[in-house]
Amino acid sequence: MSHNVSLELIDINTVSSIQNSLSHLTGFSLSVYGEKGNLILPPVSEDKFLSALKASQKGRDEYNDFLKRSIEKVAHRRDVSVIKGPAAQYYFFIPVCMNNVTFVITGGGVFFSTKEFEDFYIKDGESYGFPLPQLKSWSQEIFVSDYVAIHEASRYLQFLFNLFLKCGYENNLNEKKYRLTKTILSLISNIELDKKADEVYELLIDVLLFLFSADSVSIMVKDNELFRSQRAGGRLKEHLQTMRLKSTGVITEVLEKQRPLHSEDMMEILKLGLSDEVTSIYLFPIVLKNRVIGLLGIFNSPIAQEDADVIFDLCRIIGFVFRLLDLQSIYDRRLKNIHVLDLATTRLNPVKEPEMLYDAIVDLSVHLIGAERGSLMLIEDGSSYLTIKAAKGINKLLLKEIRIKLGEGIAGRVFKEGVPLIMDDIERNGKVLLKRRPNYKTSSFMSIPLKAGEKTIGVFNISDKVTGEIFSEEDMAILQSFLSYASIALERSMYYSLAGHLRELSITDALTGLFNRRYFEERFFEELQRSERHNLSFSLAMMDIDDFKLFNDTEGHLAGDEVLKNIANIAKDSLRVIDVIARFGGEEFAVIMPQTEKKEAFLVAERIRKSIKEQLPTTWKVFPKDTITITIGVAVFPSDGKDRVELIRNTDRALYKGKMEGKDKTVVWGW
């Protein structure tokens, strides 16, 4: 069984970042190859003389052959080497190993003396396409050093690559652990207190199959002297489901030590009672109050040690969950219905978002009554139809387009009459001509109107009691009481949604739909604070429509408004997800580009400018120009301004410069 960390934890983006950083730091053009000579990352910029050398067929063939031989040699030796290559240039080769993966860093293109270069050039230069008269100019381009300096620099590069790669690897490892732990805790936290042990087992198996890519999994509970499979999943599910393991060998050790153990010993595996289809087993104890109540078995699956640690923690949490379920079972039996109801209603108070509230109402309702299925139907303002907002035990996709007309069907009648309905057997009820659907377990159901004051706002339907019994009048009373609180929460949620809409209106420009200047100032201040605190850069762009006053004068302000809206939409579609665009005033727009330097900001600005020029509809009749264009000024924090005033001033200066230079262009301050 392999306990090596997954290769995926070595992120090629991390390697690229290290390569770029060290290339800029040392001045060498660094390339990254695999141990077989395959190019992984090309250099950021290549040595001029090497590029010219490779322009000839001879130089290219010699260099590629030299590179392949040298990389294989260095990867085998696992040590830094400085090797003379074509054209008498010296190159260093640095092996970097992490998690049984070897990279080879190459760089150099160095001559040990000017004379050595000139001797090569005079003797062989023309065969590589180097005319003799260019000797002097090439002599000024080459890089001259000595063996000791190059070898020492290579050692430092090897140390730094290894250090940075290790840090990146550990960061990815910690990030993976964080994602796994967060996902698992999220799943565990959603376990409802009325779940049965089998449902928790199913959840645990799903986690192992999907998050840890386990081949086959089984949850086993003790049955006399054997451990019997309670739930199984994966490739060997059918075989594992009938499994009975003897309490011997590795199982005895797990029970005594209450620690996970694994085995690939076929004799040990066969002795437990498993078939020869199983080649490895990893056993984890599930402990409740210092007693092993079950075993988690993972079969035919290589598990890294850090993953095994997470799974062991998960098993301990599952043991704790079982303890909670036991306590909850005792608690539920002793509480009266009114206490359960009070508990449930308090869980609605903090929920303000409508979608979350709909789900919460359905979940709590079916939990209170002990049912498997429920649906919440509400009427939209001005509509004569009920639509399903949330459901449990029913596929939401199937219900998405269902609409019930008021007065029709059971829910439509209950809404219109405002009177709850309870039925023990729908097929024997002569008043309602509706056959029970075959996928429903029982014929008993309830339909209750939701009321806000005297106004009916929806209907709640519930069916299939877990016990198979019919719904009682007591069930009806409990659910009605609960839904009266739910109606208040729904009405509150509507006000909350309205408040959110008003908030949106307060930060957006009514004409263009973009953020307004007030919101821009808030975000601009936040980005200044964030970038200064974390030592980051960000770019600010100001866009102004060229000759917009002339357009308004010739075409009218209504046409001008359409142009503003069209430009806003085109600009918004041309931006990245992280960028923030706002209407700054009149025909001027501002864009905040987080963590963006000048080159990238220029590219984004140019994309906006060209898109507007090409995509804006030309519907005007009098305006003398064929296209409407914009001019953009860009400045970057902190190089072009360390505070709000200075950065905006330099952005405006760049914009003004663009206007003076003929408009329809992007100007970056300081370029």
Q: Are residues 479 and 434 in the same domain?
A: yes
Asked if the model's pLDDT at residue 552 lies above 50, the reply is yes
Kindly state whether residue 428 falls inside one of the protein's structural domains.
yes
Total domains present in the chain: 4
Does one domain contain both 366 and 414?
A: yes
Beta-carbon neighbour count of residue 230 at 10 Å?
Answer: 16
Q: In which domain, by residue range, is 302 found?
A: 197-333
Q: How far is the CA of 542 from the CAs of 219, 275, 467, 569, 667, in angstroms?
A: 62, 71, 67, 16, 10
Mean pLDDT across 480-495: 74
Of 7-21, 253-267, 272-286, the poorest mean pLDDT is in 7-21
Domain assignment of residue 636, yes or no = yes
Domain boundary among 436, 463, 498: 498
Same domain? For 267 and 365 the reply is: no
| 161 plus 280 within the same structural domain | no
Q: Which of 294, 317, 333 is the C-terminal boundary of a domain?
A: 333
Check whether residue 151 and residue 19 sit in a common domain: yes
Question: Do the domain assignments include residue 177?
Answer: no
What is the structure's pLDDT at 431? 46
Do 431 and 319 sit in the same domain of this protein? Answer: no
- Least confidently predicted of 358-372, 390-404, 531-545: 390-404
Residues 357 and 394 in one domain: yes
Query: Contact 451/457 with Cβ under 8 angstroms?
Result: yes
Q: What's the chain's average pLDDT? A: 84
pLDDT in tens, 491-512: 767 665 655 555 555 688 889 9
351-353-358 Cα angle (round to 5): 80
How far is the C-alpha of 596 from the C-alpha of 395, rounded, in Å? 44
Average the pLDDT over 232-236 and give the result: 92
The number of beta carbons lying within 10 Å of the beta carbon of residue 438 is 6
Q: What is the CATH number of the domain that holds 16?
A: 3.30.450
Contact 186, 40 (CB under 8 A): no
Domain boundary among 463, 498, 533: 498
Is the model's pLDDT at 322 over the cut of 80?
Answer: no
Tell whether 167 and 220 lie within a shared domain.
no
User: Does the residue 287 lie in any domain?
Assistant: yes
Residue 250 inside a domain? The answer is yes
Choice among 454, 587, 588, 646 that is catalytic: 587
- Are both 348 and 326 inside the same structural domain? no
How far apart CA 319 and CA 408 sit, in angstroms, is 50
Better pLDDT: 136 or 331: 136
Whether the predicted pLDDT of 161 surpasses 90: no
Q: Which long-range contacts (CB under 8 A, 24 or more apart) does 266-273 make?
A: 271/246, 272/245, 272/246, 272/248, 273/243, 273/244, 273/245, 273/246
Residue 245 and residue 165 share a domain: no
Same domain, 612 and 647: yes
Query: CATH no. for residue 364?
Result: 3.30.450.40
CATH number at 653 reads: 3.30.70.270
**Residue 433 pLDDT exceeds 60:** no
458 found inside a domain: yes
How far is 80 from 225, CA to CA, in rounded Å?
60
The answer to whether residue 192 sits within a structural domain is no
Question: CA separation (Å) from 21 to 355, 372, 610?
Answer: 47, 58, 33
| Pick from 51-60, 367-376, 430-439, 630-639: least confident | 430-439
Q: Are residues 322 and 250 in the same domain?
A: yes
Q: In what order do the strands lie in the sheet with 403-405?
A: 403-405, 385-392, 371-379, 455-465, 445-452, 421-423
- 507 part of a folded domain: no
pLDDT > 70 fraction of the chain, expressed in percent and rounded: 88
pLDDT confidence band for 634 (50 / 70 / 90)? very high
Q: Of the ranges 71-85, 133-147, 442-456, 499-513, which one carries the lowest mean pLDDT score?
A: 499-513
Is the Cβ–Cβ distance between 514 and 579 less than 8 Å?
no
pTM score, whole prediction: 0.35
* β-bridge pairing 143-144 and 101-111: parallel
Distance CA 232, CA 243 (A): 10
Give yes or no: 587 in active site: yes
CA distances from 452 to 170, 360, 415 (A): 56, 18, 13
- Asked if 255 and 247 touch (Cβ cutoff 8 Å), the reply is yes
Read off the pLDDT of residues 292-304 as tens digits, 9 standing for 90 and up: 888 999 999 988 8
Tell me what pLDDT residue 504 has. 57
Q: What pLDDT is attached to residue 186? A: 75
